[in-house]
Amino acid sequence: PLKWLMQETLGMKLALVHGDVSPKNILIGRRGPVFLDAECAWYGDPAFDLAFCLNHLLLKCMLNRRAITRFLGCYDRFAETYLRGVNWELREELEPRAAQLLPALMLARVDGKSPVEYITEDRDKERVRKVARILLTDRAERLDTVRDAWAAEL
């Protein structure tokens, strides 16, 4: 599934992608959000930015388990707001790509070159791997499917 996903993502040339959309890189301005730290930007698939930020919100559930409901609520709100603003293509085309990128990004943050610093226990890493593998194999089509699978594991 990862090779297929890599080829699909590399082949999609649709818009400028920020590349590092995470809560720490978003400021709230008078006229809306301001995105910082765009040195990773490239021309590609905007579904990456959505999946990248949602990945942060899902994995933060491991950092503060008392705030799981709030993190999942932020996930829902961010996904809904982003998808509502999609006007360069059909939402129904972008959402499945984001849903399929998301579990790959989850794996990358536990086994890749830039692992999150707050998932250190082997059992927690294995939980991320378990959910990500299932979602990659099943090729999730909806972001709520990804959220629900993660919430069930928590």
Give domain limits for the chain: 2-12+46-153
pTM over 0.85: yes
Is residue 66 over pLDDT 90? Answer: yes
pLDDT in tens, 100-112: 999 999 999 999 9
Q: Round to whole Å and give the CA distance between 61 and 55.
A: 10
pLDDT digits (tens, 9 = 90+) for 69-92: 999 999 999 999 999 999 999 999
- Give me 36's structure tokens: 């910082």
Please state, in angstroms and rounded to a whole number, the distance separating the CA atoms of residues 9 and 13.
8
For the chain, the average pLDDT equals 94
